[in-house]
């Protein structure tokens, strides 16, 4: 399916009926829209699978519809409380993915004005509670793609600034590189009404509230994160993909990243990253073909610590010891601080 998980289709979705499928979460990871990176993070897939299942079940208790059906163990679909051990496979309702056409090096979303149901909405909705160092907001402000007024600010923000209220942002989902959109452009390309966009925003804020509360319980700050939605056969909203994990969220502990941002910090200090950034400026669709070098391997110490972090966060968020071979999150972060580039 993508760089971090595979999709096994059991029943194909139709125009008027959802399908059935399984996500198989892998130990692969991706940064900077590159796709699969050269390393695998041991047990990452199982940790992500368990964590997102935890949040799906919590959200369903609040009346938010999701595509989640349960986790697969010994051929049966089970809830978290029924599992004997960590799993990699999640059963879901499957929606159609309608990719925009590419015409004259731009994306044509006219299909979303024709098709109305049983489809993935081609947007990523981002909530921002603060602006940590490394947030794309600073780069967009510097390049002129974002204005202070869009953030509800009068003065230029600084790394680490906490926002008075959450900011909602939106980007493309099905393009070669995520592209940030205005609210009106997002509505236009996805064929959304004002009421539908408002409902997406309302649910996103509720999800943010839950994740923030759960992260705070284990001493973490929920800086920002992303969610994705689709429409069922009755054009009712459905939360899809994954939610609340170290891949979908940017958590911090005393300013220290607790997410795959750790890998991003390492790669930002490489010539490969500089080449990626230059290529994106030249061609926002086919930029990967312009990058001659491949990303380097992570140093073994950083890779092992990231693995432990995924497992420890899964244990502490779900309040169950799924992985017995890891110390507490705070201890792991102290070790990561010692090995990351300054």
Per-residue confidence of the chain (342 residues) as pLDDT tens digits?
Answer: 567 899 999 999 999 899 999 999 999 999 998 989 999 999 999 999 999 999 999 999 999 999 999 999 999 999 999 999 999 999 999 999 999 999 887 899 999 999 999 999 999 999 999 998 778 899 899 988 888 888 778 889 998 899 989 999 999 999 888 899 999 999 999 999 999 999 999 999 999 999 999 999 999 999 999 999 999 999 999 999 999 999 999 999 988 889 888 999 999 999 999 999 999 999 878 899 999 999 999 999 999 999 999 999 999 999 999 999 899 999 999 999 888 876
pLDDT score recorded for residue 1: 57
CA separation for the pair 84, 220 (Å, rounded):
27
pLDDT score recorded for residue 37: 94
For residue 143, what is the domain's CATH number? 3.30.470.20
Handedness of CA 37, 43, 46, 47 (dihedral sign): negative
Angle at 224 between CA 328 and CA 1, to 5 degrees: 85
Count structural domains, the chain: 1
What is the DSSP-derived secondary structure letter of residue 105?
T
What 290-299 contacts at long range (C-beta under 8 Å, 24+ apart), as own/partner pairs, is 294/38, 295/34, 295/37, 295/38, 295/267, 295/270, 296/38, 296/270, 296/272, 297/38, 297/39, 298/37, 298/39, 298/263, 298/266, 299/266, 299/339
Range of the domain at 26: 5-339
* Pair type for strands 119-120 and 68-73: unpaired
Helix, strand and coil percent figures for the chain, each rounded to 5: 35, 25, 40
């Amino acid at each position: 399916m993508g760089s971090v998980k595979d999709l096994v289709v059991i029943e194909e979705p139709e125009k008027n009926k959802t399908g059935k499928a399984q996500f198989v979460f892998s130990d692969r990871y991706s940064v900077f829209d590159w796709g699969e990176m050269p390393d695998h993070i041991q047990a990452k897939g199982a940790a992500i699978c368990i964590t997102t299942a935890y949040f799906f079940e919590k959200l369903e208790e609040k009346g938010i519809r999701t595509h989640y059906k349960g986790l697969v163990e010994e051929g049966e679909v089970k809830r978290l409380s029924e599992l004997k051990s960590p799993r990699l496979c999640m059963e879901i309702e499957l929606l159609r993915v309608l990719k925009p056409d590419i015409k004259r090096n731009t994306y044509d979303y006219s299909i979303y004005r024709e098709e109305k149901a049983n489809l993935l909405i081609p947007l990523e909705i981002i909530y921002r509670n603060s602006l940590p160092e490394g947030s794309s907001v600073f780069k967009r402000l510097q390049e002129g793609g974002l204005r202070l007024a869009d953030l509800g600010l009068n003065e230029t923000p600084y790394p680490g600034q906490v926002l008075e209220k959450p900011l909602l942002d939106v980007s493309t989902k099905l393009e070669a590189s995520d592209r940030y959109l205005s609210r009106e452009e997002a509505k236009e390309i996805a064929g959304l009404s004002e009421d539908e966009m408002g409902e997406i925003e309302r649910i996103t804020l509720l999800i943010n509230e839950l994740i923030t509360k759960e992260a705070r319980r284990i001493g973490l700050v929920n800086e920002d994160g992303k969610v994705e939605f689709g429409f069922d056969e009755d054009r009712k909203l459905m939360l899809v993909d994954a939610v609340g994990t170290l891949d979908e969220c940017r958590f911090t502990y005393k300013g220290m990243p607790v997410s795959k941002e750790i890998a991003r910090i390492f790669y930002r200090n490489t010539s490969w990253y500089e080449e990626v950034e230059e290529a994106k400026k030249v061609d926002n669709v086919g930029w990967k073909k312009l990058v001659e070098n491949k990303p380097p391997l992570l140093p073994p110490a950083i890779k092992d610590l990231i693995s432990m972090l995924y497992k420890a966060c899964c244990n502490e968020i779900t309040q169950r010891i799924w992985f017995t071979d890891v110390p507490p999150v705070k201890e792991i972060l102290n070790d990561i601080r010692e090995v990351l580039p300054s």
